[in-house]
Amino acid sequence: MKYLRLKKNTDIQKLFKKGKRAFCGGLSAVYAPSPELKMAVIVSKKHGKAVKRNRVKRLLRQAFFNTCGNIPFACAVALVPKAAESYSLKSFEKWLCGIYKKM
């Protein structure tokens, strides 16, 4: 399934103000209904240096792409991982499926 990326700061700020939150494991999501499926990944500097932050973003984008067929409705989603020692694609996919059930 195709999805768009939320890139503008104003769009992300609107999502955080008006959206609902869901948590599962080491991942939290802010979501709101939208005409199209959109996604943003937010990784802060407490996750490590740029190489590690970029790896976390790549893993989250791939996990979202693999599991976005399970989303019950079209929405805009901002994914925020918790800081951890290591990350894996399987754990992100598991946490995303748990978040989809809570939506």
Could you report the per-residue pLDDT of 71-83, keeping only the tens digit for each?
Answer: 888 899 999 999 8
List, in order of start, the domains of the chain with CATH numbers: 4-102 (3.30.230.10)
pLDDT for position 72: 84
Give 22's strand partners.
29
Percent of the chain predicted with pLDDT > 70:
99
For residue 15, report the phi and psi dihedrals to the nearest 5 degrees: -65, -40
Cα–Cα distance for residue pair 34/66, rounded to 1 Å: 20
Cα–Cα distance for residue pair 103/86, rounded to 1 Å: 26
pLDDT confidence band for 1 (50 / 70 / 90): low
pLDDT in tens, 23-39: 998 999 999 999 999 99
